[in-house]
Amino acid sequence: MKKGFLRKLITATLAFSLSTSLLIGCESKSTSVAKAGTYTATESGFGGDVTVNVTISDEGKISSIDVTADSETPTIGGEAAPKLAKTIVDTQSLAVDTVSGATYTSTAVINAVTTALTEAGADIKALKNNKVSKNGQNEEVNVDVVVVGAGGSGTAAALAASEAGLNVLVVEKNPSAGGNSKIASGFFAIGTELQKNEGLDLSVDKAVQDLMEFNQYLSNGTIVRKIVENAADTVEWLQGYGVEFYLPEKTTQLAHEDDLYKWKTYHKFVDQATAFENMYSNLENMGAKVVYNTSLETIIKNDDGVVTGITAKKEDGGILTVNASATIICTGGFGADSEKTAAALNSNLFNSLGMPNAGEGISAIEEIGGFDLDATPLLHACQFAESTVKQDSAGENLAGFSDTSLTQILNTPLLWVDTTGSRFTNEDVVYDTAFWANAAYTVGGKYYIIVDKATLEAFSNGTSLTVSQAGPGAKMDLDDFVKLADASVEAGTAFKGSTLEELAEATGMNATDLKATVERYNSMIEKGSDTDYGKASTSLAYKVESGDFYAFDVRGVFLGTIGGVKVDDNMQVMTTDFELIPGLYAAGTTAGGYYTGVGYPPYEGLACGFAYTSGRIAGTSAVNYVNSLK
């Protein structure tokens, strides 16, 4: 059992009755199936196995589906699995939609139920053709403020607007709140009580200058200043709503150790699930309403150019029109839009982690005159290709690396080559996750780690290299690395050759280039000096000398996107003419200006610091605007 998971049996025992084939908003023909009995099947979900027990009644109907999905992220797949099982029972159909945000778990449930029903002798084709027609009612509501997206930025915006006494509605596409913010670990802020208690005296001025310089003054100065100035207060404000933070005693990003601004600014969340529960119970107490499974469609702008609300699609297919004095879009970025991210990265070889935000908020803003200033994938760390381990909200394997001790090979500065066989970077970038992924970007998102068998044997006894523990970190157990590497070769995520020529052939590299790279690297190790890229002499540990030789396939990773539409420092959306759009605000990864420039600055927690602080600013700005209309 994985540590940190809430192990629970999710039971969706649902009494079948003929009347359930007619749902509120859903219609389906009932399709007779199979022999009576209970049938079991298991499929791989997001974090592990998803098992279903499908019971067929004497009438040949699906009378109940019990789901065990204890390895799934409790608040995502854990909630989606029984919900989907209920839909299958209610509709007697396999033509059901996956639950938004929980595609892996949903697919596992549908596939497992299909297997069980096949065993029961059901007519699978008929069940798949039994389309559920959605005929939900359209609805219309009037509120002061509508917040779209219930991640960190949207939640902060809703709290700020609600505490001012306004009537707030939050519209969320997924079945639960949190978004990427719920799987993130920490928050950048300067000057908090937590820092002061440790005797730290960090300067907002210096942090602003560092961030501006990092991005070569391409970021928006007023936004950077306002966020950094307000982040500490936002930490304390969130603490008041039940979000607990602590300052780490050391950083896992070893390259940051000498710069307190990079890591003693990282306020780690104690427990994100509880934090979101607390924030939402506070919101409810203040009278805010939240609708889930409801996805933004359009932003409504009147003839005077004023935004007056949104339309959104409900789960039952009906349209929800929200008339609002102020509209705040916090739908995150477009990490799930693989075409757009591939275009931005000039490569489709990167691995993507995070919630499947598809950029609807940014597109809807563009439709009514705003524009995308600087949205781009958030490059962060690397992982082995085809890793079967994905992130969970409990922190373990968060960034989706392999779960074996081979992660020590990934997280150390061994010899890295591009797909032609040439070395391309100082491998010590492994000690800074942003720079590490940036280095992978320069070679199209994919590189190989080259080692020989002797190196693997040395790792089996404990490596002399410092192993990075950033992100999920490496698994430090001693193991048989040759065996692990051979298993990767078997799985197609690593390659092996008894000679370098053979290895080059297996990977498609240029054998002459690879041999030249290896010879040069070995000679630099002998001299103890990396005259090409300046890697520390302590990292020049393992020559690549005699077969077998191995090449591990590694991919750069992005964590959703950062940047977004043009806003001013009140988070009010602007047109391409830099004119403010009345009534419309954006925050978090829907809003741009904070990072425009060369890349994601290596200051820990910057994205969450921006999400919550910009959300709070957007909420406060909306309050001022709504009050000005009265």
Contacts with ligand FAD, residue ranges (CB under 6 A): 101, 148-154, 171-174, 179-181, 183-186, 295-296, 330-332, 353-355, 357, 360, 391, 398-399, 559-560, 562, 588-589, 605-608, 611
Distance between alpha carbon 524 and the CA centroid of its chain, in Å?
A: 39
Is residue 419 exposed (0-12), middle (13-18) or buried (19+ Cβ within 10 Å)? middle
Strand order in the sheet with 49-56: 37-44, 49-56, 62-68
551, 506 contact by CB (below 8 A):
yes
Minimum Å gap between C-beta 281 and ligand FAD is 17
Which residue has tokens 């498609």? 508
Closer by beta carbon to ligand FAD, 45 or else 472: 472
Answer left, alpha or beta for residue 518, where phi above 0 means left and psi between -120 and 50 means alpha: alpha
277, 176 contact by CB (below 8 A):
no
Closer by beta carbon to ligand FAD, 296 or else 450: 296
Closer by beta carbon to ligand FAD, 550 or else 558: 558
Minimum Å gap between C-beta 353 and ligand FAD is 5
Name the phi and psi angles at 618, rounded to 5: -60, -45
Minimum Å gap between C-beta 110 and ligand FAD is 21
How is 309-331 classified by DSSP, letter by letter?
EEEEE-TTSPEEEEEEEEEEE--
Minimum Å gap between C-beta 329 and ligand FAD is 9
Closer by beta carbon to ligand FAD, 295 or else 463: 295
Is residue 173 exposed (0-12), middle (13-18) or buried (19+ Cβ within 10 Å)? buried
Minimum Å gap between C-beta 132 and ligand FAD is 21
Minimum Å gap between C-beta 257 and ligand FAD is 18
Minimum Å gap between C-beta 376 and ligand FAD is 12
3-state secondary structure 5-57: CCCCCCCCCCCCCHHHHEECCEECCCCCCCCCEEEEEEEECCCCEEEEEEEEC
Minimum Å gap between C-beta 399 and ligand FAD is 6
Minimum Å gap between C-beta 327 and ligand FAD is 12
Minimum Å gap between C-beta 151 and ligand FAD is 2
Is residue 106 exposed (0-12), middle (13-18) or buried (19+ Cβ within 10 Å)? buried
553, 448 contact by CB (below 8 A):
yes
Closer by beta carbon to ligand FAD, 144 or else 337: 337
How is 55-67 classified by DSSP, letter by letter?
EE-TTSSEEEEEE
Strand partners, 52: 41, 67
Closer by beta carbon to ligand FAD, 81 or else 330: 330
Q: How far apart are the first and last CA of the chain?
A: 57
Closer by beta carbon to ligand FAD, 26 or else 358: 358
How is 518-557 classified by DSSP, letter by letter?
HHHHHHHHHHT--TTT---GGG------SSSEEEEEEEEE
How is 344-385 classified by DSSP, letter by letter?
HHT-S-SEEES----SHHHHHHHHTTB-B-S-EEEEEEEEET
Minimum Å gap between C-beta 178 and ligand FAD is 6
Pairing relationship of beta strands 351-353 and 549-562 according to DSSP bridges: parallel
Closer by beta carbon to ligand FAD, 333 or else 413: 333
Which residue minimizes CB distance to ligand FAD?
151
Closer by beta carbon to ligand FAD, 338 or else 531: 338
Minimum Å gap between C-beta 104 and ligand FAD is 15
Instruction: Report which secondary-structure segment, H or E, holds 105.
Output: helix 103-119
The token pair that represents 450 in the structure block: 């080259």
61, 30 contact by CB (below 8 A):
yes
Closer by beta carbon to ligand FAD, 416 or else 603: 603
Closer by beta carbon to ligand FAD, 45 or else 152: 152
Closer by beta carbon to ligand FAD, 153 or else 408: 153
Report how many helices (DSSP H) and strands (DSSP E) the chain contains, helices first. Answer: 18, 23
